[in-house]
Amino acid sequence: MSFKMVHENYNVLDLQKSLDFYEKALGLTEKRRIEAPDGSFTIVYIGNDKTDFVMELTYLRDMDRPYNLGDCEFHLGFETEDFEAAHALHEEMGCICFENKEMGIYFISDPDGYWLEIIPAR
């Protein structure tokens, strides 16, 4: 028996704001979408052509407060071949939330406070 990772879910308060962020910050675009017939939820899968792995953004219509992310000790990592350009973009966007220069990595925070690690290609 074997398993293949296919997606990770993040719940979001403002779906369009999140879609815009992920496209600008990481080049992720919508691959497919599921909408509840009654409008209670929308699920959008976003990704790129580098991998089959996708992020699942879930919008729940009746959520009325920010999600509790605990200590924010979980994250999704993204490798980039142009670390300097990525850093410049994220600095311009104001979304860098933590930098570890000794390790040569940094983290950005999405509109809901989820952390995303940016790693240079090695």
In whole angstroms, what separates CA 115 from the centre of its chain? Answer: 8
Tell me which of 30, 56, 99, 117 is the catalytic residue.
117
User: Would 2 be classed as within a structural domain?
Assistant: no
User: Would 116 be classed as within a structural domain?
Assistant: yes
Its pTM stands at 0.91
Domain residues for the domain of 12 are 7-62+74-120
Q: What is the pLDDT of residues 4-63, one digit of tens each?
A: 889 999 999 999 999 999 999 999 999 999 999 999 999 999 999 999 999 999 999 999
Question: What does the alpha-carbon distance between residue 68 and residue 66 come to, in Å, rounded to a whole number?
Answer: 6
Q: What is the pLDDT of residues 67-105, one digit of tens each?
A: 998 887 788 999 999 999 999 999 999 999 999 999 999
Question: What does the alpha-carbon distance between residue 55 and residue 65 come to, in Å, rounded to a whole number?
Answer: 22
Give catalytic status of residue 56 as yes or no: no
| CATH code, domain carrying 92 | 3.10.180.10
Report how far apart, in Å, the C-alpha atoms of 66 and of each of 10, 33, 92 are. 12, 22, 25
